[in-house]
Amino acid sequence: MSWRRFSRFAAAAAAAWSLGILLGWALDVPAAGDAAAAPDIRCASAGRILSANVRVLAGCLLGIVTWSLASCATLLLNGIHLGVQWQLLAGRAPGGEILMLLAPHGLLEVPGILIAGAVGMMGAAAGRSFFRHGSRALRLYARPAVYGTAASFLLVLAAALVESWNISRM
């Protein structure tokens, strides 16, 4: 599979995730201005962060066998969750502080999640290809799926380590 073809799946994953963020930010969260309701981010360890991110990766990768539905749902729900969390944090901390907290690990975590989403979204195309051309056609999708899964896990692992180190300094 060419990079051009994989980039279409990546664009679809980014669109679903971005839509979720916009929906989450637009939700009228009653406690958005209440500092007590904001998440306490200092209690997060690398293992806890990694397990949460691996659950997101697993949901994205389930799209391989659910004809991309699980990937779309996971990316949308993760985006909504992130939009709500940003809204809650915005009521608690200035924008620059939030950016300094999110940017170091977000540069690793977001591409990892979007790559896993793109791999999961290949599920519908792989299924169509299988039913049209048989099992030989699946070879076209196997290599990007394996490499994408490994890359997304390594990126999310590195992001969890950076995030826990960054939080421990707070």
Across the range 155-164, mean pLDDT stands at 88
Instruction: Report the C-alpha gap between 145 and 2 in whole angstroms.
Output: 12
164 with 46: CB under 8 angstroms?
Answer: yes
- Residue 33 is predicted with a pLDDT of 52
Domain boundaries, the chain: 3-26+37-168
Instruction: Report the C-alpha gap between 154 and 170 in whole angstroms.
Output: 25
- Residue 86 is predicted with a pLDDT of 82
**pLDDT, tens digit (0-9, with 9 covering 90-100), for 128-138:** 888 898 888 88
Model pTM score = 0.85
142 with 123: CB under 8 angstroms?
Answer: no
Q: Cα-atom radius of gyration of the chain, to the nearest Å?
A: 17
- Residue 103 is predicted with a pLDDT of 77
Q: Residue 110 pLDDT more than 60?
A: yes
